[in-house]
Amino acid sequence: MALDCSTELARVNAQGPNSQRPINAQLPTPKKPRSEGGWLAACMYMETKETKDWNRFTRPYDLRERLFEFACVIVDLVQYLQTRDEVSRSLSDQILKAGNSAGANYEEADDGSSSADTRGKRRIALRELKETLFRLRVLRKTGRLGPEHDPVIQETLELKRIVASLVNKSKRPK
């Protein structure tokens, strides 16, 4: 260990006072040849080996709880998509925002200051669910999501229908 410290001290002294690198800077990591497979292959194997239960929806009667459960699954789905290609990562960012926004807007709708405010926030929640569904369908059609993700798409469709029904049944402003 003393040899390493003295070697570093000699290097710093050899650089002189006008050196570009600060004294406490980390030395560059020496390049090692990549072995075939390595840690990346092991991680990729773990990803495919680890199976997520995408059909874990309990479908509670309370729509707020159901939208909360949906938002949690969307977070997991986005984490999965972030490990894929550039298109999947880009669409996953939008899915995360829209999928979580649906539940948040529905929560806000319950505390609306008027029936028009409640209806407006529910309409926003409906738009967010439609956006989420569209992007999930695109990912499924292009093969970036597989048949194991169909329960997420199905739940999005069911939530969209439920919220649409609530919006249509709510009192329309005259």
- The CA-based angle 66-122-158, given to 5 degrees, is 40
Size of the chain in residues = 174
pLDDT attached to residue 127: 97
- Residue 99 CB neighbours (<10 A): 29
Helix ranges restricted to H, 82-114? 86-110
d(CA 3, CA 1): 5
Tokens of 67: 């939208």
Name the residue with tokens 């919220």. Answer: 163
Ordered per-residue pLDDT tens for the chain, 174 residues = 444 545 554 554 555 555 554 554 455 545 544 444 444 444 444 444 345 777 777 776 789 999 999 999 999 999 999 999 999 999 999 999 999 999 999 999 888 788 888 899 999 999 999 999 999 999 999 999 999 999 999 999 999 999 999 999 886 655
pTM across the whole model: 0.67
pLDDT attached to residue 57: 72
The domains found in the chain, sorted by start residue, are 61-169 (1.20.1440.60)
d(CA 29, CA 49): 32
- Residue 105 CB neighbours (<10 A): 21
Q: Which amino acid is at 150?
A: D
d(CA 58, CA 142): 28
d(CA 168, CA 164): 6
pLDDT attached to residue 7: 53
Q: Quick one: DSSP state of residue 172? A: P
Please write the tens of the pLDDT for every residue from 41-77: 444 444 443 457 777 777 767 899 999 999 999 999 9
Name the residue with tokens 């194997």. Answer: 45
- Residue 140 CB neighbours (<10 A): 16
d(CA 113, CA 135): 32
Half-sphere exposure at residue 31, Cβ-oriented, CA atoms within 13 angstroms = 1
Half-sphere exposure at residue 111, Cβ-oriented, CA atoms within 13 angstroms = 5
